[in-house]
Amino acid sequence: MDLRKINLKVFLEKGEEIPLESFIPVFHRWIQQDKLPGMLVDVAEYTHVFQGPGVLLIAHEGNYSLDETDGKRGLLYNQKRPIEASAESYLTTAFHRAFLACSLLEKETDFSGKLKFSPTRLRITLNDRLAAPHEDWSLEEMEAVLKNFLDRFYAGAQYQMAPEMDSRKLTGFAVNVDGIFSIEDLLKKVPSV
């Protein structure tokens, strides 16, 4: 299965009340300071869109956003142009970049103690309806690849994967992992790319 356009959303544990507009100057600062891997390009604000993409940090390789789809806020990494060539490397890149952005946001002085992401609540989708149409065979292939990766990433912890059943939405899974994990420890498992 072609996972080049993988999306990874890490849900918030704390910080839903922080106004989305507060992330705009932070993302601009990240561009100036070259805080994330890849070429950071611009910031786009969609705070007026109900349960929308919120605030986006646009990069050449992928976008980062404080996404509010389905009324649940989280950091969404939307991979667009990875340079790797295998499902494993696409997942590694997406997990590294999403978890790095979560870690950096939690450490921002603007959000001091007010923001926390849950590395055990994820949504993983494939933003390519041609490569992953919303059909049983596509879900089965994606599930097999994800299980292989998640088994190693979460060191054999138990987790539940619930497929997205709404065919109007992207093919993917909600993932809930049992146990306590820190973003910092998990970041060590995915090399910088």
Q: Which residues contact 107 (CB under 8 A, 6 or more apart)?
A: none
Tell me if 170 sits within 8 A of 129, measured CB to CB. yes
How does pLDDT run across 50-70, given as a tens digit for each residue?
998 999 999 999 999 999 999
Who contacts 120 (Cβ-Cβ below 8 Å, separation ≥6)? 159, 176, 177, 178, 179, 180, 181
**How many folded domains does the chain comprise?**
1
pTM: 0.94
Residue 40 lies in a domain: yes
Q: What is the pLDDT of residue 82?
A: 66
**Any domain includes 94:** yes
Range of the domain at 97: 6-187
Q: Confirm whether 193 is domain-assigned.
A: no
pLDDT > 90 fraction of the chain, expressed in percent and rounded: 77
Tens digit of each residue's pLDDT (9 = 90 or more) over 32-46 = 999 999 899 999 999
Does 19 score more than 70 pLDDT? yes
Residue 169 to residue 159: CA distance in whole angstroms: 22
Residue 193 has pLDDT above 80, yes or no: no
Which contiguous run of DSSP H or E holds residue 104? helix 87-107
Question: What's the rounded Cα separation, in Å, for the pair 83 and 81?
Answer: 7
Report, as an integer, the average pLDDT of 123-148: 90
In a domain, 125, yes or no: yes
In a domain, 192, yes or no: no
At residue 4, the pLDDT reads: 86
Residue 1 lies in a domain: no
- Say if 111 falls within a structural domain: yes
